[in-house]
Chain A
Amino acid sequence: MGLAQDLLRQADHLTEYEGIDPSQASLRRAVSTAYYALFHLLVEEGALRWTGSPEGRIGFERGFNHGSMRTISEKFARSVWKDWHAKVPTIPKSLKEVALAFMTLQDQRHKADYNNSHVWTVTDAKNEIKLAERAFEAWESIRTDSMAGNYLLAMLLGKARV
């Protein structure tokens, strides 16, 4: 099992190991971990397409940037991404689900890590984990589609046509 799957399981564990009234610290870590599970899934999937050296693969993985991934995910979620020929392709529904989940989880992760005025509940934290789980399932169904490759490449390059 890879890091992404482990993180997803850990996120769920964080909401449960303290019983019915988990601490804010655990709920915040759970939400943050759910985001990082999806982040690492996409980075791992991107790296699978790398056929160069192992060192190069590490550099390749480090090329993924949270901000660029957000920018590209919004374009895919809204179906306004322009491809390498400046055409607006149809984005498969499952890929839109992944992009939407990425947008949402990244925002919630920032809220969980930095906004101490927001009170997390078990329902809200578990909802974010379920969103990540859905994104994992959606990705599995679309990962070999050419648009999934375009999504990863666009995120890695960090540039979006406008």
Chain B
Amino acid sequence: MTTTTLPTQEQVDRVAQVLAPDVLRVRMNIDTDWADCPALYFKVVISDDASRNERLGEVTNRVRETFTTQLDLYSLEPFPYFNFRNQSEQAKLREPAWD
């Protein structure tokens, strides 16, 4: 059973705050995935410390679980996908979609 009410950026921001200081911000956009199915893409900027090899797996897993649980993402038709980069990488790339 899927529902159609998609989360707002404000809701996304509130969940991101729970994950601070490891998570700095999260940007969401709606698109289609490679199979042309509806998808929610989350661009997550994490701290440099959180991206250290010893911590990265735990942090990114916690981010996925927190978002999917708190926003009930698996009940939505669009499937959620998460991409990550750290603060230094984004400072260098300066992609507006991640700011």
Contact = CB atoms under 8 A, between A and B. Distances in A.
Given A74-B79, A103-B79, A107-B39, A127 B84 contact: yes
Interface in A110-124: 110-111, 114, 119, 121-124
Contact of B53 (A78, A114, A126, A134): A126
Contact of A122 (B81, B83, B89): B89
Contacts of B60: 127, 130-131
A124 B33 CA distance: 17
B56 A126 contact: yes
Interface residues of B, number: 23
Given A103-B79, A130-B57, A131-B60, A123 B33 contact: no
A106 interface: yes
A23 interface: no
Interface residues of A, number: 26
Q: Which of B34, B39, B81, B89 has the most CB of A within 10 A?
A: B34
B34 A104 contact: no
Contacts of A134: 57, 61
A79 B74 CA distance: 9
A121 B90 CA distance: 9
Contacts of B81: 104, 107-108
Interface of B: 1, 33-35, 39, 46, 51, 53, 56-57, 60-61, 74, 79, 81-86, 89, 93, 95
Nearest 8 A-B pairs (CB), nearest first? A110-B34, A130-B57, A121-B89, A121-B85, A123-B51, A123-B86, A107-B33, A127-B84
18 contacts: A67-B35, A70-B35, A77-B74, A78-B74, A80-B1, A104-B82, A107-B34, A121-B84, A121-B85, A121-B93, A123-B51, A123-B89, A124-B84, A127-B82, A127-B84, A130-B56, A130-B60, A134-B57
Interface of A: 67, 70, 74, 77-80, 103-104, 106-108, 110-111, 114, 119, 121-124, 126-127, 130-131, 133-134
